[in-house]
Amino acid sequence: MSNSSALAEAASPEVRERPIVNDLTIQVATVNGSGSQSSNLVLLRSLFRMGIPVGGKNLFPSNIAGLPTWFTIRANRDGWVARRRRVDYLVALNPQTAARDVRGLEPGAVVVYQAGMRLERQRDDLVFYPAPLQDLAGEITREVRLRKLLANMVYVGVLGELLSIAPEAVDASIAAQFRGKKTAIALNHRAVRIGARYVRENLRKRDPHTVAPMDRNEGKILIDGNAAAALGAMFGGASVATWYPITPSSSLVEQLEKFLRRHRREEDGKSTFAVVQAEDELAAVGMALAAGWAGARAMTATSGPGISLMSEFVGLGYYAEIPAVIWNIQRVGPSTGLPTRTAQGDVLSTYALSHGDTRHVCLLPASTAECFEFGWRAFDYAERLQTPVFVLSDLDLGMNIWATDPFQYPDRPMDRGKVLTAEDLRRTGSFQRYADVDGDGIPWRTLPGTDHPAAAYFTRGSGHDESAEYTESEEAYVRVMERLARKFETARSILPEPVIHAADPPSEIGIIGFGTSDPAIEEARVTLREQAGIEVDYLRLRALPLSPRVLDFVAGRRTVVVMDQNRDAQLLQLLRAEFGDRLPAGVLKSLRHFNGLPLDARTVSDFIAAMDLGVGA
Amino acid sequence: MRKRTARVRRRPRANRLGLSARDYRGKPSTLCKGCGHDAISSQLIRAFFESDIRPHQVAKLSGIGCSSKTPAYFLGQSHGFNSVHGRMPSVATGAMLANRKLIAVGVSGDGDTASIGIGQFVHLVRRNVPLIYIVENNGVYGLTKGQFSATADENAKLRSGEVNRLPNIDLCGMAVELGATYVARSFAGDPKQLVALLRGALAHSGTAVLDILSPCVTFNNHPGSTKSYTWGKDNEEPIHLLDFVPEFEQIEVEYEEGQSRDVQLHDGSWIRLRKLDQDYDPTNRRAARELMLDAQENNRFLTGLLYVDPDKPTFLDTLEMTDTPLAHLEESRLRPPPEALDRIVASYQ
Ligand SMILES: Cc1ncc(C[n+]2csc(CCOP(=O)(O)OP(=O)(O)O)c2C)c(N)n1
Ligand code: SF4
Ligand SMILES: [Mg+2]
């Protein structure tokens, strides 16, 4: 529960009377399938166009229509876009949840709602703005379905007026949202104006929130992590993508296919890719691995239940040394869990997926920019290392909308790894598929179809020696397994290094995290510095296996918090398992957040502020 | 009376590529002596040799089982992939996606296909992935020491006396149902027919399903078994006599009108079906289904080419991929230029 000495979230409202500019969380509570998504995106884009840092998070049910959905927009002049607990503006459209939504507000918050819902009776410490949204939309049309849709755009007009959102920004956002559909654009413009007019004529502004133009979004784009991943994959030369639908990963391959159709069809209309919706995740990963075996840049995307199903095949990929890229857009488990909520619960299971001694390279993107970057790099790593490479994203990153600088075009040619051609074989005469000729643990391979009698080898998941021959020899087994361990050390040395933010001189306190914990951790560090005088150094992991720099970061500090978005402190367990005695005793402290909501800064700052730091008073 | 002319060739020691049968052999088999699977491997070697297939173009795929081990025992100059139990179809599909020029031959068992892998079998057939799909059917799980499989006939007996009370799954019937384009049943003890069917499969463009009775001499070759050599020999009823006639060979043998039927396959070669006691048209899907229903109900072991549709587009055709195998595309064709990224980024502004 909230600590009495809890620190405020960064830049929280100071004095009610003074206007609060560009620091605002809007929550639209509705039911899914009601068509409010377009309105919410228009709101988000309008703020974005005004140059204000902004992000959007959709909290939705695992259902197609009729269940509660909350869309949250956070606009923050300092650039903080992590989830924030406090809601300043509630748009209460869902009678099912309205009472609870209103009860959860902090004093001073604003409620915009359908007039007649009588929410104003519930509390006297909030600001209530009722508006007859449905009737106002009725001014445009009598047609029921359209009226319902337009009522959503009426609240955009209401909020726009109340918050001083620039009308040009709203108009432009509508035009972008309904690209090319003239009638729709005109109708929605009208709905927005009707909403704004209603506010001017009937409501008196009684809250301090307002927005004003900034210049923080110059050149930036708004995009979801799955789209960014798909783009990265396309620019990484993805040629075979296989998948089976599952939230929250479906939109990755769906968007990939859309991009590929546009940008990877040649003049004759033929494709340089194949996207296959498989019959299940076993087939999806089987196809991807075999395509990688045969020389394609192959990938699949899934989430927890699919990862579990892929387990056996992934072990084969590891042992038989086959490249493929597997995106795991994590959601809440175990089992079906909370399929539309976010988590980092698959760290251990993905890292060691499958039976026997298996270890897998995992990339850990924290932003849409890294989704793009790891999207192409993952193929280079997979082909260089000849092994399945995972990218561990999550629902928050994959499905929510983030502002980002434009993506950097790949800065190097593709690395296709150690592949011998027929010509190479004509020179060498022969080759051994699993021999470590270069001392880095990575053998050479040939592709099926290579026109040389010595090219062929037999791939198997059973015991094999350097020549890929079947064997049950204990020596050969140990040799191959030891070489695979060496190869993993090579992986450790070439994967993206952690990002470290350390004060000079370094602080005694540190935090280690990865992925979508990042925005909350960064915000918490500033809060702690500004409000409690606590400096927290930060190491953000970007890949597994762990970089040795993690040990350097931990060494010499009094306390290092390990941030996990799961119950069992999986990252902490991994640190302990990999580094063991090399970790100083009593330094690592676990902070876990696992309720399915994106991490917020206060969870981090309250925890650190409440620690016995042995510093200050 | 139709007449055709051709020379009759002597059996060559080298094929048209100048390769000998030896070039199509694999490692020595480690299966039990007399295992039906080895007989099938021999006919595969012969078929690939006689059809002048370049070994390096072939990819051999399999699942897990005694049968799935056999790709190591033929075509040693072809890449092989012995994958996981029941998943050969997805592996074959992936390999063909990456390189459409490969000639894929998949070997599976009745356990591998009719139980753990039935889902993948169904979807591969439905897609019509270019693949010769061989089921080495012995009615048991050989590698795990002889438990019944789902193709065991009702009332068949294990050596222990255990009786199978469940109906069998007829993979050929299923395949036709699913829209398969080349469906054959054969017997490891009938090499002549098998080799013609294999060569026909090599000439076919889509999925060719060959369900081959392949006795397990160790666990299912006893009296009371309906998958033994003896049972096969006593019960095999070929629905026609089969000859494979390559495109480049003309035919001079004479047949009486109505005594034979020629089906031209995708690559231009022919399967000649010589009539036995009934005239069976394997391009008629309804007739095929009826025949197989009859076979299943009356426990008849009908062999031959049960169904063929030479012209249906394959899965690869439907994907409209470029001619170059995806695996061979160079970077310039895989990575769109920086301007493309700029345009995409602009659309997100
Ligand atoms: C996931 C999994 N489950 C079980 C097994 C054990 N197993 C190996 S082979 C086999 C059955 C093989 O039977 P079949 O496909 O008919 O091949 P046969 O040996 O008869 O040729 C089983 C169950 C396995 N390898 N993998
Ligand atoms: S156990 Fe049966 S199937 Fe396996 S090798 Fe021996 S005879 Fe063949
Ligand atoms: Mg069997």
> Which one-letter DSSP state was computed for residue A80?
-
Q: Confirm or reject: Cβ of B261 under 6 Å from ligand 1.
A: no
Distance CA B313, CA B220 (A): 39
Q: Which ligand is nearest to the CA of B139?
A: 3
Closest C-alpha to ligand 1, atom 16: B111
What is the percent of chain B where pLDDT is above 70?
Answer: 94
Cα of B218 vs centre of ligand 3, distance in Å, is 11
Is the pLDDT confidence value at B300 over 80? yes
Between chains, do B84 and A461 touch, taking CB under 8 Å as contact?
A: yes
Query: Which residue positions in chain A have pLDDT lower than 50?
Result: 1-5, 10-16, 616-617
Question: What's the CA-to-centroid distance between A354 and ligand 3, angstroms?
Answer: 26
- Which residue(s) pair with A128 in the sheet? A111
In the sheet that B270-275 helps form, which strands lie side by side, from edge to edge? B240-245, B270-275, B260-264
More confident residue, B13 or A412: A412
Residues in B closer than 8 angstroms to A447, CB to CB, are 79, 99, 327
Q: Contacts of residue B331 in chain A, CB cutoff 8 Å? A: 237, 413-414
Q: Which is the closest atom of ligand 1 to the Cα of A312?
A: 1
What's the token pair of residue B209? 């399903």
Interface test with chain B among A179, A446, A459, by most B beta carbons within 10 Å: A459
Does B38 contact ligand 1 (Cβ within 6 A)? no
CA distance A599 to chain B (A): 26
- Which B residues 2-61 touch A at CB under 8 Å? 27, 54-57, 59, 61
Q: Say yes or no to pLDDT of B250 above 50.
A: yes
Specify the ligand 1 atom closest to the Cα of B37.
Answer: 21
Q: Does the CB atom of residue B82 touch ligand 1 within 6 A? A: no
Of B264, B186, B106, B155, nearest to A286 (Cα)?
B106
Best mutation target, A217, A222, A239, to test chain B (most B CBs within 10 A)? A239
**Residue B5 reports pLDDT greater than 50:** no
Nearest residue to A22 (alpha-carbon basis) of A44, A40, A56, A47: A47
A81/A372 Cα distance (integer angstroms): 19
Task: Return the sign of the alpha-carbon dihedral for residues B198, B202, B204, B210.
Answer: positive
Three-state DSSP class for residue A286? helix
List all residues 6 or more positions away from A324 whose beta carbon is below 8 Å from its beta carbon.
Answer: A285, A288, A289, A291, A292, A298, A299, A300, A317, A382, A388, A389
Task: Give distance in angstroms: CA of B36 to centre of ligand 3.
Answer: 10
Tokens 């959503």 belong to residue: A152
Query: Residue of the nearest CA to atom 5 in ligand 2?
Result: B31
Q: Looking at ligand 2, which residue's alpha carbon is closest to its atom 4? A: B142
Q: In whole angstroms, what is the distance from residue A379 CA to residue A225 CA?
A: 18
pLDDT level of residue B4 (50, 70, 90 thresholds): very low
Q: In B, which residues are within 8 Å of A456 by CB distance? A: 55-56, 76-80
Quick check: helix, strand or coil at residue A488?
A: helix
Banded pLDDT at B3 (limits 50, 70, 90):
very low
Per-domain residue ranges for chain B? 21-318
User: What's A338's DSSP letter?
Assistant: B
pLDDT band at residue B249, thresholds of 50, 70 and 90?
confident
d(CA B317, CA B310): 14
The 10 Å Cβ neighbour count of residue A471 is 16
Name the DSSP class of B157.
Answer: B
Beta strand A221-224 with B301-308 is: unpaired
Helix (H, G, I), strand (E, B) or coil at A72: strand
Whether residues A272 and B72 touch (CB distance < 8 A) is answered with no
Residue bearing the CA closest to ligand 1, atom 2: B85
Tokens 């849709």, residue located: A149
CA distances (Å), origin A282, targets A333, B111, B117, B223: 19, 18, 11, 39
Q: Is B78 on the interface with A (CB under 8 A)?
A: yes
Q: What does the alpha-carbon distance between residue A327 and residue A378 come to, in Å, rounded to a whole number? A: 10
Choice from B64, B141, B218, B222 to test ligand 2 binding pocket (greatest atom count within 8 A of CB): B218
User: What length does chain A have?
Assistant: 617
Q: Tell me the C-alpha distance between A395 and A393, whole Å.
A: 7
Ligand 1 pocket mutation, candidates B70, B143, B171, criterion most atoms within 8 A of CB: B143
For chain A, helix, strand, coil in percent to 5 are: 40, 20, 40
Chain B hits for A46, CB-CB cut-off 8 Å, are none
Q: Is A532 exposed, middle or buried (CB count within 10 Å of its CB: 0-12, 13-18, 19+)?
A: middle
Q: Taking CB atoms and an 8 Å limit, are B79 and A296 in contact across chains?
A: no
CA–centroid distance, residue B23 to ligand 3 (Å): 28
The radius of gyration of chain B's CA atoms, rounded to the nearest angstrom, is 21
Whether B277 has a pLDDT exceeding 90, the answer reads: no
- Which protein residues touch ligand 2 with a CB less than 6 Å away? B 31-32, 35, 37, 66, 138, 142-143, 216-219
A89 to chain B nearest CA, in Å? 26
pLDDT computed for residue A6 by the predictor: 53
* Per-residue model confidence (pLDDT) at position A3: 39
- Best A420, A447, A470 member to test B by mutation, with max B CBs in 10 Å, is A447
d(CA A356, CA A597): 34
User: Which residues from chain B sit within 8 angstroms of residue A470, using beta carbons?
Assistant: 72
A24 has which bridge partners? A75
> φ and ψ at B102, to 5 degrees?
-70, 155
| Ligand 2 geometric centre to CA of B146 (Å) | 9
Model pLDDT, residue A61:
84
**From the CA of B142, how far away is ligand 3's center (Å)?**
5
pLDDT of residue B256: 65
B89 touches chain A (CB under 8 A): yes
How many residues would you count in chain B? Answer: 349
List of domains in chain A: 20-210 (3.40.920.10), 223-404 (3.40.50.970), 422-494 (no CATH), 499-610 (3.40.50.920)
The DSSP result for B186-251, as a single string, is EETT-HHHHHHHHHHHHH-SSEEEEEEE---TTTS-STT-SSSHHHHHHHEEESEEEEEE-TT---
E strands in A249-369 = 274-277, 298-302, 324-330, 361-363
Sheet holding A324-330, edge to edge: A274-277, A240-243, A298-302, A324-330, A388-394, A361-363, A543-544
Helix (H) or strand (E) holding B88: helix B88-98
Distance CA B142, CA B31 (A): 10
User: Alpha-carbon distance A244 to A287, whole Å?
Assistant: 12
For residue B328, give the DSSP letter: G
Q: What is the pLDDT of residues B185-223, one digit of tens each?
A: 999 999 999 999 999 999 999 999 999 999 999 999 999
Q: Is B304 an interface residue toward A (CB < 8 Å)?
A: no
The DSSP code sequence of B42-61 is: HHHHHHHHHTT--GGGEEEE
Question: Which residues are within 5 Å of ligand 3 (an ion), measured at CB?
Answer: B 109-111, 138
Chain B residues touching A236 at Cβ < 8 A: 335
Whether B97 and chain A come into contact, CB under 8 Å, resolves to yes
Checking if the pLDDT of B252 tops 70, the result is no
Q: What residues of chain B, 121 to 140, have a C-beta less than 8 Å from chain A?
A: 122-123
Which residue of B68, B70, B93, B125 is the best one to mutate when testing the A interface, meaning the one whose CB has the most A CBs within 10 A?
Answer: B93
Checking if the pLDDT of B60 tops 60, the result is: yes
pLDDT band, very low/low/confident/very high, at B307 (cuts 50, 70, 90): very high
Taking a C-beta distance cutoff of 8 angstroms, is the pair B179, B128 a contact?
yes
Planar angle of CA A279, A284, A287, nearest 5 degrees: 115
Q: Which residue of A has its CA nearest to B75?
A: A456
Is any Cβ of chain A less than 8 angstroms from the Cβ of B322?
yes
What residues have CB less than 8 Å from A549, skipping those under 6 apart?
A: A497, A498, A500, A539
**Contact yes or no for B149/B141 (Cβ under 8 A):** yes
pLDDT at B10 over 60: no
Pocket test for ligand 1, best of B141, B171, B219 (most atoms within 8 A of CB): B141
Indicate the residue type of A7: L
Q: Hey, what CATH topology would domain B21-318 get? A: Rossmann fold (3.40.50)
A216 and A52 in contact (C-beta within 8 Å)?
yes
How remote is the C-alpha of B163 from its chain's centroid? Answer: 29
Q: Annotate A379-433 with three-state secondary structure.
A: HHHHHHHCCEEEEEEEHHHHHCEEEECCCCCCCCCCCCCCECCHHHHHHHCCCCC
Per the structure block, which two tokens stand in for A60?
A: 């939705």
- Please list the residues that pair with B255 across neighbouring strands: B2
Check: CB of residue B140 under 8 Å from CB of residue B216. Answer: yes
Chain B residues in contact with A446 by the CB 8 A cut-off are 79
pLDDT at position A14, please? Answer: 40
**H helix or E strand, kind and range, residue B332:** helix B331-334
Contact B21, B57 (CB under 8 A): no
Q: Which two tokens stand for residue A585?
A: 């005793």
So what's the ipTM on this one? 0.96
Q: How far is the CA of B45 from the centre of ligand 2 (A)?
A: 20
For the full predicted model, state whether its pTM sits above 0.80: yes
> How far is A458 from chain B, CA to nearest CA, in Å?
5
Residue B67, ligand 1, Cβ within 6 A: yes
Average pLDDT of the residues in B19-46:
98
| Long-range residue pairs from A97-101, CB within 8 A, at least 24 positions apart, any chain | A97/A29, A97/A68, A98/A29, A101/A27, A101/A29, A101/A70
Interface check B80 vs A, CB under 8 A: yes
Q: Which amino acid is residue A64, in one-letter code?
A: I
Across the interface, of A273, A312, A413, the residue whose CB is closest to B331 is: A413
Identify which of A386, A419, A420, A242 has the alpha carbon closest to the alpha carbon of residue A318: A386
